[in-house]
Chain A
Amino acid sequence: DVKVTQSSRYLVKRTGEKVFLECVQDMDHENMFWYRQDPGLGLRLIYFSYDVKMKEKGDIPEGYSVSREKKERFSLILESASTNQTSMYLCASSPLAGGRYNEQFFGPGTRLTVL
């Protein structure tokens, strides 16, 4: 059974703190993604990675960075959290394309509140 896990379901941090959101997948997938989900805005891609140590900016990378030191783990980092980063964060993974589409599998999400 495919599985994407996220380190926390709920997280409360203070403005200016450095925040780490962790995502682990057990499917040996090459691609991993970080989205944020906000009411009325849907899901927006923050960063994605197609290999270890490789990363690409998504549509809203400002204020975020990522790290992928191992194939199964993809971390989202908020260097200095701000209140406008209060959101639901979703991680996803998918296998290498190989010339065809492959489904993205999502984790349960981390609801981050920045006070």
Chain B
Amino acid sequence: AQTVTQSQPEMSVQEAETVTLSCTYDTSESDYYLFWYKQPPSRQMILVIRQEAYKQQNATENRFSVNFQKAAKSFSLKISDSQLGDAAMYFCAYNPDKIIFGKGTRLHILP
């Protein structure tokens, strides 16, 4: 079965510091896409960053970057210079043909 595992239900980070959220996935596919979505208290699902499995270069979007290890089936999200507005639930997601979500990591930002 295709699954996405986020082993950290909750994390906290000091404002302006860097935090890394972990994600692993299980697949037999060779071509797929990976995403991190953010869900703030408003409950809106917001796409943070995406990665194509056939690209070795790690994706970066401003303060957000990923560490994609295809052989290890690992896809972690690094948030640099954490801001109060980054507080949210973060979902790792995998798309071989439809998006499958992990259970999420709740990120708290400490002022």
Tell me, yes or no, whether A binds B.
Answer: no
